Structure 1
Amino acid sequence: MQGRTKSESRRPLSGRSRSAPEGRTFLAALSDRWNSLKNDAVRANLPRLLLFFLAAVGAGAVLVHLAEAGQEDGMFRRLFDGIWWSVVTIASVGYGDKYPRTDVGRSFAILLILSGVVLTSLISGTIASIFVERRIREGKGLRDVKLKRHILVCGWNSNARNVLEGIAASGEAARTSVVLVSMMESDLFEDLKTRYPGLDLRFVRGDHTQEAVLRRASAGAAHACVLLPDETGPGGASNADERTIMACLAVKALNPEIHAGAEILKPESEQHLVRAQADDVIVNGEFSGRLLSAAGFEPGLPGAARKLFSGETRLRQSPIPSSLVGKTFREASGWYLSERSAVLIGVLSKGKGMALEDLLSDDSSAIDAFIKRKFQEAEMDLARETGAGDEIHLAPGPDYVIRDSDWAFTVG
């Protein structure tokens, strides 16, 4: 797996900054759902129906109170008695503790009962239609998603389920929503929701290379983005890499601080994705041949590699505790083994990167010129540093000194 990690301000997919909040809070998620439900209710004219309902209750209470207030039994002596009777009557409860005795009062009761039947039917039908429509629109990917610090999965192919399985096994599933952005059919999305009940899956149907579609998925507030070679869009896999590059540019234009990881089909597309500010780039099938060849001489390696990315003992990336800064790799390894029952195998060392204007030269290819133009249209700074100076040190040696900008690679 070949990664390109950006400047220190960026957060890798599997790591968290020392001061960052842990995912979306319950109250934030509840507020998002409430605002969305409120907007749907307003569009369906539910507030107006509720106002008519309250007006009918109030009118019935006042009219019956005035008509029955002079009766000797005193059932409607107070206005609140009329309100109580009006609510019980219009809701079809019918306790029978209060009822009008005069012809005028009974005439008002008939009108209230008839209007109550109509209003309660309209209100219950409207509420049901709101939830049914929300369900249908969500399943078809037609609803806007209002989330924060979620993960975008742009594009879809036969290997995309492995991405969802990885997110589900990461320990972040309970705190992070996942938004799928592609042209997949609604039946497939419903199947995914059934297959991964532990994930808060959302769906936005559309071309993930278009900023308008990404805005519907709240790309500007997302924490991370996974870009896959798309088989559902126009052209299928034939132009998947080009669409991945365009999607990366669109995502970065909306959210320059998002951590974008991308998979490509052709190795020659890697350089263009790096120039489009992709933080991690993986070439499809890059290690398949090596693992298969290793199976003939070291038959345990393919199984070990599989376990490194699945299960409880998988490979993880995390911030190094500040107490280990300045200590040697040997001392840090001992601390991880004793305190976290994990094996420290290496570190990600942050370094000074290169500016995009250095990567995108004036005599570069047409794709580079396109990338440069897109950054200029988005008013993004070409002089901002990339992560070209970041280095991965596996088994760096016992005397390697841990720095405050290092991240740990551990197994366990």
Structure 2
Amino acid sequence: MQIFRYIYEHIFRSRFIRQITGKLSRSMLIKVLIIGIFLLVSLAFATYYIEKDYLAYSIVNGEKVATRESNIKTLEDSIWWSFVTSTTVGYGDFYPISRAGRFMGILLMFFGMSLVGVITGNIASFLVEKQLKEGKGLKDLKLKNHFIICGWKRDMVQILHDVMEKNKHFLPSEIVLINMADPEEIENIKSDEQFSQINFISGDFIDERVLHRANLKHAQKVLVLADRLVPGSVQEVDSRTVMAIITIKSITKSAYTCAELVDKKFERYLKFSNCDEIILSSEYNRSLIANASAGSGISHIISELLNVNADVSITTQDVPDKYIGLTYDELFSFYMSRNRSVLIGLLENTGNFFSRKTEAIRDAQKTPDISKLVDNLKEVKTLEANQPVINPYPDYILKKYSKAIIIEGRE
């Protein structure tokens, strides 16, 4: 008895089982199936009791002679016959011979055709509804380790091509767009063969419910664009970007986040929110214009290095573990020995910045010296995500979680 009580309390009364039974009880198709099976079995029982001992008689030479007997002898035969008849298969191995039994068969035929029609109609309705939800971006996604892109740009197709070029380990089916663009715009993107399997969630990306539909909790990367679909000033666009990052970080701290800002004054809010990477698009444009005005040709150099399809580009690579704790000069020599690779600096505190900061605080607290502890915590406070160190001194010591900034040619 204790075993049965345990099974009842820990399995049948578990939250998972209750959720399943709750969903099943609300499904019209399940209700139709249950009612249908009940009626089929009821008609099978009735036919069995009518047919099991039935004999058909004929008059031969003036005498009443039993000429046929029913071949439905067991309840199993009757249930088999009812299901075969209701699905219009009709093997003919079992059949009633009495008037009452044949009447049951007629009822079963009409009922079976109706039941099949209702079931196929419900299945077709479910598939059509699923297709409509996907088209309108209303479907809940179950992806894991995926890449979410929030916001919209006028040249979205080209942006997606460049993003895919730099993130080749992601399949198009692992990319999720969250925005309030017209369905026609999304269809235009999906008409490109490369993005036919891309996912779309329609809604405001600062809304938690919308982010949960994209299964944000299990996402690997999130890119928040300065959304051009937002009416209003630059400040309103950037405010929404900041709110999006705050909301995202409140749901998951493990996803790598990157956000685009138009106005630099909002940068500190993103840093407070532990945003891993910040794109200051207007600031970059102003710097390029200023350099171009001096006739330095810097704008052409930067354009070539950032071109995702160029033969030579600037990129970052994880510093090999064996070089952590060694000097910059030793790493420089390593890259010089490689074909078409030049080391120009380091990128420190890379990866998920929340994890880097948590680890740094944990390491800082290991000292028993209070004054040293205070100094360590002050140092942690000055940490910045993805901090570039360009062309350091040769004796500069390489730290953990650093990446090498290199100019590299394609193989």
Task: Give runs of aligned pairs for residues 353-364 of structure 1, distance below 5 A.
Answer: none
- Write the letter of the residue equivalent to 1:205: S
Contact 2:305–2:313 (Cα < 8 Å) also in 1: no
1:40-61: per-residue Cα shift (whole Å, max 9, x none)? 8765422212212322332343
**Paired residues, number:** 349
The alpha-carbon distance between structure 1 residues 125 and 335, as it changes in their structure 2 partners (threshold 3 A), is: farther
1:271/1:160 Cα in 2 relative to 1: closer, same or farther (>3 Å)? farther
| Aligned counterpart, 1:177 | 174
Residue 118 of structure 1 is matched in structure 2 by: 114
- Does the C-alpha gap of structure 1 residues 116 and 195 become closer, same or farther in structure 2, counting only changes over 3 Å? same
SS in 2 for 1:76: coil
For the pair shown, which has the larger CA radius of gyration, 1 or 2?
A: 2
**For 2:87 and 2:162, how far apart are their aligned partners in 1?**
51
Q: Which residue of 2 aligns with 1:364?
A: none
Report if aligned partners of 2:141, 2:215 keep a CA contact under 8 Å in 1. Answer: yes
Equivalent in the alignment of 1:64: 47
Deviation at 1:131, TM superposition (A): 1.8
| Residue matched to 1:368 | none
TM-score in terms of structure 1 length: 0.69
Report how far residue 183 of structure 1 moved.
1.6
Counterpart of 1:262 in structure 2 is 259
Q: Is the 8 A contact 2:176 2:201 kept in 1?
A: yes
CA 1:386/1:393 → structure 2, altered by over 3 Å: closer, same or farther?
Answer: closer
Tell me, what secondary structure is at the counterpart of 2:198?
Answer: strand
* Residue matched to 2:349: 350
Query: 1:174·1:198 contact (CA, 8 Å) conserved in 2?
Result: no
After superposition, the Cα gap between the structure-2 partners of 1:282 and 1:64, relative to the gap in structure 1 and judged at 3 Å, is same
Corresponding position of 1:195: 192
1:39 CA drift (Å): 8.9
Q: Secondary structure at the match of 2:109?
A: helix
Which protein is richer in helix relative to its size?
2
* 1:106-128 alpha-carbon deviations (Å, 9 max, x no partner): 11111111111222111111111
* Contact 1:151–1:224 (Cα < 8 Å) also in 2: yes
Task: Please give the per-residue CA displacement for 1:203-250, whole angstroms capped at 9, x wherever unaligned.
Answer: 332222233433333333332221111122343767211221222222
Report the Cα distance in structure 1 between the residues aligned to 2:267 and 2:400, rounded to whole angstroms: 30
Q: 1:228 aligns with which of 225, 228, 235?
A: 225
| Structure 2: distance between partners of 1:168 and 1:229 | 19
Q: Does 1:107 align with 2:103?
A: yes
Aligned to 1:155: 151
Matched, 1:84 2:80: yes
1:140 aligns with 2:136: yes
Query: For 2:25 and 2:387, how far apart are their aligned partners in 1?
Result: 53
Paired amino acid for 1:249: I
Q: Does the 8 Å contact 2:305/2:314 carry over to 1? A: no
In structure 1, list runs of 5 or more residues that go unmatched: 1-35, 356-382
Contact 1:41–1:130, Cα closer than 8 Å, also in 2: no
Paired residue secondary structure (1:133) = helix
CA drift of 1:306 comes to 4.4
For residues 342 and 78 of structure 1, the distance between their equivalents in structure 2, rounded to whole angstroms, comes to 83
C-alpha separation in 1, matches of 2:164 and 2:348: 27
Q: Which residue of 2 aligns with 1:406?
A: 402
Which of 229, 233, 243 is equivalent to 2:240? 243
| 1:64, distance to aligned residue in structure 2 (A) | 3.0
**Offset of residue 404 of structure 1:** 3.3
Q: Quote the RMSD (CA, aligned, Å).
A: 4.2
Question: What is the DSSP-based 3-state SS (H/G/I as helix, E as strand, rest coil) of the residue aligned with 1:179?
Answer: strand
CA distance, structure 1, for counterparts of residue 135 and residue 147 of structure 2: 18
User: Offset at 1:261?
Assistant: 0.9
CA deviation vs aligned residue, 1:118-167 (integer Å, no higher than 9, x gap): 22111111111112112212322333334433332222121443443244
Separation in structure 1 between the aligned mates of residue 93 and residue 22 of structure 2, nearest angstrom? 40
| Residues in 2 aligned to 1:404 and 1:314: alpha-carbon distance in whole angstroms | 25
Larger deviation, residues 48-57 vs 316-325: 316-325
Match of 1:54 in 2: 37
Q: Is the 8 A contact 2:70 2:96 kept in 1?
A: no
**1:273 matched residue in structure 2:** 270
* Matched AA of 2:204: D
Distance 1:155 1:262, change over 3 A: same
**Are the counterparts in 2 of residues 182 and 233 from structure 1 also a CA contact under 8 Å?**
no
Q: Secondary structure at the match of 1:347?
A: strand
Provide the TM-score with structure 2 as the length reference. 0.69
Which range moved further: 398-407 or 249-258? Answer: 398-407
Secondary structure of 1:230's partner?
coil
Matches within 5 A, 1:254-333: 254-288=251-285, 290=288, 293=292, 297=297, 301=301, 304-307=304-307, 309-310=308-309, 316-329=315-328, 332=331
In the alignment, the residues of structure 1 paired with residue 254 and residue 201 of structure 2 have an alpha-carbon distance, to the nearest angstrom, of 22
CA distance in 1, matches of 2:132, 2:21: 17
For the residue of structure 1 that corresponds to 2:200, the secondary structure is strand
2:88 alignment partner, SS class: coil
Higher mean C-alpha deviation, range 342-351 or range 158-167: 342-351
Paired residues of 1:204 and 1:217 also in contact (CA < 8 A): yes
Tell me the amino acid that sits aligned with residue 178 of structure 1.
Answer: I
Cα distance change, pair 296–85 in 1 and its aligned pair in 2 (3 A): farther
Kindly tell me: are residues 60 and 172 of structure 1, through their superposed partners in 2, closer, same or farther at Cα, counting changes over 3 Å?
farther
Give me the whole-angstrom Cα distance separating, in 2, the residues matched to 1:385 and 1:73.
Answer: 94
Task: Give the distance between the partners of 2:90 and 2:173, measured in 1 at CA.
Answer: 48
Is the CA contact (8 Å cut-off) linking 1:220 and 1:255 kept in structure 2? Answer: yes
Percent identity of the aligned residues? 28
Mapping for residues 17-56 of structure 1, pairs under 5 Å: 43-56=26-39
Whichever residue aligns with residue 257 of structure 2, its letter is A
